[in-house]
Amino acid sequence: MKSTLFSFFVILIVVNQSFSQTREVLELKNWKFYQGDVSHASQLNFDDSEWEQVIVPHDWAIKGPFDKEIDLQVVKIEQNNETIATEKTGRTGSLPFIGVGWYRTKIVRPDYDTDKQVILTFDGAMSNAEVYVNGRKIGNRPYGYSYFFFDISKELKVGSENVIAVRLENKAFSSRWYPGAGIYRKVKMITKDIASFKHWGHFITTPYINDSIAKINIKSQVHGENIVIKTFIKDEKGNVVVENVANQRFGDEIEQSISLMNPKKWDIETPYLYTAEMELYQDDILKDNESITFGVREIKYSSEVGFELNGKVVKFKGVCLHHDLGPLGVAVNKSALRRQLRILKDLGVNAIRSSHNMPSIEQLELCDEMGFLFLAESFDEWKKPKVKNGYNLYFDEWAEKDIVDLVHATRNHPSIVMWSAGNEVPDQWGSDGVKRAKWIQDIFHREDSTRPVTVGMDQVKAVMENGFGAILDVPGLNYRVHLYEDAYKLFPQGMILGSETASTVSSRGVYKFPVEIGFNRIHDDLQSSSYDVEYCSWSNLPDDDFVLQDDKPWVIGEFVWTGFDYLGEPTPYDNFWPSRSSYFGILDLAGIPKDRYYLYRSRWNKKEETLHILPHWNWKGREREKTPVFVYTNYESAELFVNGKSQGVQRKNNTSNLHRYRLMWMDVKYEPGEVKVVAFDENGKAVAEKFIRTSGKAHSILLEADRKVINADGEDLSFITATIVDRRGVPVPDAMERLSFVVSGNGSFKAVCNGDATSLEVFHNPAMKTFNGKLVIIVQSSEIEGDIKVTVSGKGLKTSVIDLSSKK
C-alpha cells in the first residue's frame, strides 16, 4: 500500500484591520501619479502639482488604448508545442503597461507617536518597485506579485510632511499575459508600539480536533521584553467562548495551547469563522492588539482516498484565475472579486487556483468567508526563462524571500489547502531543476509544515524520468491526459492532481459549421466555436478530463483553464491582430456565461437543475441545413422538439466521451421558430423543459443588475447586464448594437465590457457595441447615500432605465 503523504489538523487565521489606541492602521489611498521617468521625483520638495490624482489600488494601463505594437513579441512558445518563433501581437493584452510610473503621497507623523514603530506594507506593486521616504531609498522589490513591507520608523519627520514615493518599471518581454501596471493592491501604514506583535507574526494550528474539542495552538512572534498575551476567542455572534493568558517565551515566540469546546468546523458548505482578539501587554500595560478571524478544519492527503476535508473525501472542482478583473484591470476590488465567486458558486466550483501568481488578500478573505478551497501559487518561472525579462532575472536573489513572505502573509487563511511552487517551469528538464524543486518545497515545508506542495507540470515524460515529479508532495499534471495512467504507476504518491485542465476555447454566442472536433482551429472572424469542440494542440476537451475525474479515484480533482477569460494570451489567435484577450474562459471577459458554463454546471452543481440548449435559433440563410443541437443537463435523457416536431430522444452513453456528458442531436435542420427540450428522470418521467425561440428585430434593452443596493463607500460596484431583445422580449442573440450609458445620482460609470476578444473599444468610455446581444456596464458608488439612475440608449432602440441605491 502506498504511503500517506499528509495527515494533519489546522486552524488558520486572517489578520484584519484593528483600530485602537495601541495600533493604528491607515490605508494610503490618495496618491499623485505620473507615467514616465522623472529625476528627483522622490524628493520632498519636488513639484507634483501637475500630476494626476489617483486612488490606489490603481492600474495605469487599463484605459488603453489597445495597440498592436505594445510588447510585440517574436517568440517560440515551447509550452504550446511551437517549433518556430512567430509574431505575438496580443500576448500581453496590447495595453500600455510597459515603462516607468511614479507615485507620491504625503503623510504627517504626529508628535505623540515618536516612540512608535511604523510599518509600510504593500500587497503588490507591478513591478520592480523602489520605495523612497523623504528622498531616501528604503528598499526595493522586483517581483510584482509579492507582498512586502518596510520599517520606516526612523525615516519619518515629526510634526511635518513626509513624502512616500514609489517608482515602478515594467519591462518589455516580461510577461506571458497582461500583468497590469501600478500600485494595484492596497498600501497600508501601521503604527504600533515598539513592544508589539511582529508583522505577519501569528500562526495557528490544531494538533487535535473532534466534535467535542479542538486544541488550538497559537504561535505569536513578538517585540519587547516582559510580554504577556491575552487571547479572547469569540463565535460569530461575538460571544466570548474561551480566553487564555500566556507569557512563556522561546526566543521571540510565545506559544499558546487553548481548548475550544464543541468547535464548529470550517467547511465548503458551512465556512464558520471564529474571531480571536489578541492583546499584548508589557509590564501590565496594553501595548498592542490584533483582531483575527480563523476557521477550524482538518485536511488530509493520502494514497488511499486522496483529499479529505474534515474526514470527508472531496474532489477539487476548481478553476484557474488570473489576477485581472477584465475591464477593471488588475486594481483589486473586493466587490468584483465577490461577484466572480458568487458566479462560480452557482457553477458548482469548490476550489480556486491563483494562476500563476500570489493571490490578493481580498480574494483569500472572500474564499474563507464563502467556502472555497484555495491552491496558492507562487511563480510562473524559476531559473530558466520563458520570457526574456521574466522572474528568471530575480530567482537566485529573491525566490526564498518571496516564498517566505507569501507563506507568512497568507498561511493563516483556512481556504488555502495547498501551495503551488510553480507552473510549467522549464526547469522540469535536467537535474538542476530537480534540485531546485526540492529546495523550494523545503522552504514551504520549513515555513508551513501543515500543507503539501505541488507544481503544475506539463513536461510529464521528463518529470517521470528525472525524479522531478516523484519528490513533490502532490504531483500536478497540466493536461497530458494520455499520460495520467503512466504517471500514477510511476509516481510514489498514489495520487494525481489535474493542476490545469482542458484549455478548451470558445467565444460566447459564436457557432461554427460544420461542427467538427479539432485543435488550433482558425476562423476568419478570429472567434472560436461555442459548440465547445475546439481546443489547443497541447490540451483537450472538457469531457476527456471528466472521464478521469469520474473513473479514477486516485485523480483528486481538477483546475480548469480558466474560470473567466483574461486579458492577453489570445490562443489560438495570439498572432492574429486584433485578438487581445483569451478564449479559454468558462465565462467571458465581462463575466457572462458561455455555453460551456452549463456543461460544467451539469456535473458540479448537483443541488440545482441544469437544462441548457445551444446554439441560438437565429440562422437566417441556413434554412433546411443541418444545425446540430446540444443540450447540457444533469438529467440522463431528453427529447428535442423543433416547432413541435420530435427530433427523438437522446440518452447519455459510453459511445464516446462527448456522448457520456452531452445530449447531441446532430441531424437537426434549421427552420425558424421554437426549439424545446423535455428532460426525463431516471424513471422516464418528464420533469423539466426549456425552450429557445427565433427572435425578431432588435427593439429594446433589458437591464439586469447583479445587485440593486450597494455600499456607499466609493468602492462598491453593481454589474448591469444589458441584453438586446425584440418586441416580445426575446433576446436577439446576434445583435451588435452600439449602446450609450448615462449614470446620474450618487454613483458613477466605471467601465463596460462586451466579452469580445477582438474588440478595440476601450473599457472606460460610456459607449460600446454589444457582442452577440449582450454587454455588462459597471457602476461604482459614491461615498454619499442615495439613489443612482442608469440610462441606456441605442439608435433605433427603446431607451431603458434601471434604478439603484447606495447605503452606508
Name the residues annotated as catalytic. Answer: 424, 500
CA distance 238 to 221: 26
- What is the separation of C-alpha 524 from the centre of its chain, rounded to a whole number of angstroms? 31
Element of type H or E holding 397: helix 395-410
C-alpha cell at 775: 454587454
- Between the alpha carbon of residue 613 and those of residues 379, 517, 640, 662, the distances in Å are 39, 19, 10, 11
User: Could you tell me which of 147, 59, 140, 43 has the C-alpha nearest to residue 97?
Assistant: 59
> What one-character-per-residue DSSP string does 425-460 give?
-GGGSSHHHHHHHHHHHHHHHHH-TTS-EEEEE--H
Q: Which residues contact 613 (CB under 8 A, 6 or more apart)?
A: 629, 630, 631, 675, 677, 690, 691, 692
User: Could you tell me which of 305, 249, 216 has the C-alpha nearest to residue 11?
Assistant: 216
Q: Which residues contact 573 (CB under 8 A, 6 or more apart)?
A: 90, 522, 526, 579, 583, 757, 758
CA distance 371 to 499: 20
> What one-character-per-residue DSSP string does 8-39 give?
EEEEEEEEPP--SSSEEEEE--EEEEEES--T
C-alpha cell at 405: 513572505
User: Could you tell me which of 438, 490, 439, 440 has the C-alpha nearest to residue 460?
Assistant: 490
Give the pairing of strands 645-651 and 637-642: antiparallel
CA distance 387 to 77: 9
Contact 677, 766 (CB under 8 A): no
C-alpha cell at 759: 474588440
CA distance 142 to 148: 11
Contact 58, 31 (CB under 8 A): yes
CA distance 437 to 468: 7
Element of type H or E holding 547: helix 542-551
**Residue where the block lists cell 503512466:** 486
DSSP 111: G
| Burial environment of residue 766 by CB neighbours within 10 A (0 to 12, 13 to 18, 19 or more) | middle
Q: Which amino acid is at 573?
A: Y
549 CB neighbour count, 10 Å cutoff:
18
Q: Which residues pair with 33 in a beta bridge?
A: 52, 103
Q: What is the SS3 assignment for 314? A: coil
CA distance 297 to 630: 41
